[in-house]
């Protein structure tokens, strides 16, 4: 749908696009119309199953929970994909068992225990811990030319990138990674590998996805070393 690539969407005939957008996203036509031509991941999580009184988990959209009141901001503490006991922490095991780094300090996860403490409500921990200048995040997402990663790759010709995430993750998206990669200059494109797996944000928790991820990472490392 070329209309979605236009920056002057105010002149686009939205009524003509409502039904195609509803078919692509799974929204009811009325919901697709009110959410705009390109719904955000937060809108998608909230609106897709709103007619059933449910919302999707931001970190694994296969998990659902009761729909929040419309005026309530997103709260990770009630996110359906973050409920239940946390999985075993692979980072802590790697640091202690593989690298031999042992400490009495607990591993600091994204939603608590980090230092320094957050200065405000962390609907998403990235919005607080990273000090984005006004408009900087939007600019970097909207223009591949402004990505800090591109600048790092230009500064280091040997730097290669492997970007992987789960199809059910609404925080990261394989298609978005591929779009950014495809809009880099050709010399940088060749140094970026993108992969998607049938998992959520913690892709490695799914047995099949973890196996594929391990194979792909090993192949990426092998190719990177052999080319150097």
Q: What's the pLDDT tens digit per position in 179-214?
A: 888 888 888 889 999 999 999 988 888 899 999 999
Most confident of 77-81, 96-100, 190-194, 222-226: 190-194
Contact 201, 172 (CB under 8 A): yes
**pLDDT for residue 44:** 87
**pLDDT for residue 137:** 43
Beta-bridged to residue 163, according to DSSP, are 194
Most confident of 42-51, 89-98, 111-120, 158-167: 158-167
Residue 55, φ and ψ in degrees, nearest 5: -130, 160
Q: For residues 221 and 209, give the distance between their C-alpha atoms in angstroms, rounded to a whole number.
A: 18
* 76, 92: one domain: no
The range of the structural domain enclosing residue 102 comes to 85-134
* 148, 178: one domain: yes
* 163, 220: one domain: yes
Final residue in a domain of this structure, among 38, 56, 81: 81
* 110, 165: one domain: no
Band of pLDDT at residue 8, cut at 50, 70 and 90: low
Residue 50 pLDDT more than 70?
A: yes
How far are the Cα atoms of 100, 105, 205 from residue 96, in angstroms, in the given order? 5, 11, 20
| pLDDT tens by residue, 54-71 | 999 999 999 999 998 877
Band of pLDDT at residue 18, cut at 50, 70 and 90: confident
Collapsing DSSP states into helix, strand and coil, what is residue 168? coil
Q: For residues 12 and 205, give the distance between their C-alpha atoms in angstroms, rounded to a whole number.
A: 42
* 149, 130: one domain: no
* 178, 112: one domain: no
* 58, 92: one domain: no
Tell me whether residue 1 is in a domain: no
Residue, of 117 and 215, whose pLDDT is higher: 215
Contact 59, 201 (CB under 8 A): yes
User: Which residue has 């209309």 as its token pair?
Assistant: 3
Contact 9, 37 (CB under 8 A): yes
Tell me whether residue 3 is in a domain: no
* 73, 40: one domain: yes
**C-alpha angle with apex 11: 5 to 14, nearest 5 degrees?**
75
* 147, 223: one domain: yes
Domain count, the chain: 3
Tell me whether residue 2 is in a domain: no
Band of pLDDT at residue 153, cut at 50, 70 and 90: confident
* 165, 214: one domain: yes
Tell me whether residue 72 is in a domain: yes
Tell me whether residue 165 is in a domain: yes
* 73, 93: one domain: no
Band of pLDDT at residue 105, cut at 50, 70 and 90: low
């Amino acid at each position: 749908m070329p209309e979605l690539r236009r920056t002057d969407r105010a002149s686009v005939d939205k009524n003509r696009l409502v039904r195609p957008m509803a078919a692509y996203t799974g929204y009811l036509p009325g919901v697709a119309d009110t959410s705009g031509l390109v719904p955000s991941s937060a809108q998608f999580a909230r609106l897709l199953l709103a007619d059933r009184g449910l919302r999707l988990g931001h970190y694994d959209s296969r998990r659902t929970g009761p729909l929040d009141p419309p005026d309530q901001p997103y709260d990770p503490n009630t996110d359906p994909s973050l409920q239940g006991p946390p999985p075993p922490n692979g980072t802590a095991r790697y640091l202690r068992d593989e690298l031999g780094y042992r400490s009495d300090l607990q591993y600091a996860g994204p939603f608590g225990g980090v230092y320094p403490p957050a200065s405000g409500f962390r609907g998403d921990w990235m919005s607080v811990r990273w000090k984005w200048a006004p408009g900087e995040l939007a600019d970097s997402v909207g223009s591949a030319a402004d990505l800090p990663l591109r600048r790092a790759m230009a500064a280091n010709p040997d730097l290669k990138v492997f970007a992987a995430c789960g199809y059910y993750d609404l925080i990261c998206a394989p298609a978005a990674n591929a779009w950014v990669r495809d809009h880099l200059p050709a010399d940088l494109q060749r140094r970026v590998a993108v992969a998607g797996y049938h998992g959520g944000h913690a892709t490695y928790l799914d047995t099949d996805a973890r196996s594929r991820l391990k194979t792909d990472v090993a192949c990426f490392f092998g190719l990177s070393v052999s080319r150097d």
